Copies of this chain bind each other. A is one copy, B any other.
Amino acid sequence: MSKNATNTGRRAGLDRNDMVAAALALVEADGVGALTMRRLAAELDVTTNTIYWHVGSRDELILEIIRSHSRQIAELPIEGTTAQERVFSAARHIWESSMASRSVTSLAHQTGTAAEHLHPLEVVLAQELEAAGLRGEELARAQRSIQVTVGGFLLNALRSDASREGDARGAAWTDEDNGLTPETVDALAQSPDYDALLADTLRAIIATHVG
């Protein structure tokens, strides 16, 4: 667990960044639930107070994790030639990197720091919207509509991850007498393909704003 071999005295020799890095590693390895001050302290071979001294509080630690990870997000190249395609590409990048690091995304969602987390990619989206000719209030509406929608899909997709196997996700639809067609009930009972669904939804939204 201890990463510094040149530890002469009882000083741990760790700084704020080491704490944040270890916390990020912990979350990525064992999920959001594993991030407790006591576990992190054990991982670093120090007391919880050491973390408090360097970081301040659990909230600050989480904010730093998000900021730190935010800087590590690679800015994928925007693809497409038309304005709609390029905006679509920028929007999907937000989805893709969020899904790529699900644990951190979950942490960001649970702590209300999702905006902070994805800001770099959101800037790229805004730039593409400007390139498409949008400005000011008009751009803000498109931007937010896209951001919020992607956020909604992330929420559901990450929840699907968490729920066990093919359990009773759509059981509510089959186990009751709602006046729906059998083929509709069947379709609703199956687990959705969020990836494809987001693509369709995004295209619909983007078409109304840039075109």
Considering only residues 107-159 of chain A, those with a C-beta below 8 Å from chain B are 109-110, 112, 115-116, 119, 123, 126-127, 130, 134-137, 139-141, 143-145, 148-153, 155-156, 159
The complex is assembled from copies of this chain, and their number is 2
Q: Select which of B140, B188, B201 is within 8 A of A145 by beta carbon.
A: B201
Report chain B residues within 8 Å CB of A207. 204, 208
CB atoms of B112 and A184 under 8 A apart = no
Q: Does A74 contact B (CB under 8 A)?
A: no
Considering only residues 149-174 of chain A, those with a C-beta below 8 Å from chain B are 149-153, 155-156, 159, 162-163, 169, 172
- Name the residue of chain B whose CB is nearest to the CB of A205: B204
Most chain B CB within a 10 A radius of its CB, from A145, A162, A197: A145
Q: Does A30 contact B (CB under 8 A)?
A: no
CB atoms of B183 and A135 under 8 A apart = yes
Q: Does A187 contact B (CB under 8 A)?
A: yes
Q: Does A190 contact B (CB under 8 A)?
A: yes
Report chain B residues within 8 Å CB of A145. 197, 200-201, 204
Contact with B along A178-211 (1 / 0, CB 8 A): 1111011011101010100100110111011000
Q: Separation in Å of the A101 CB from the closest CB of chain B?
A: 19
Most chain B CB within a 10 A radius of its CB, from A127, A184, A197, A203: A184
Instruction: Please tell me the number of chain A residues within 8 Å of chain B, measured between CB atoms.
Output: 54
CB atoms of A126 and B178 under 8 A apart = yes
Report chain B residues within 8 Å CB of A151. 152, 155-156
Known: A152-B149, A153-B152. A136 touches B183 (CB 8 A): yes
Known: A112-B159, A162-B112. A184 touches B148 (CB 8 A): no
Q: Select which of B140, B179, B194, B205 is within 8 A of A188 by beta carbon.
A: B140
Measured CB to CB, the residues of A under 8 A from B are 109-110, 112, 115-116, 119, 123, 126-127, 130, 134-137, 139-141, 143-145, 148-153, 155-156, 159, 162-163, 169, 172, 176, 178-181, 183-184, 186-188, 190, 192, 194, 197, 200-201, 203-205, 207-208
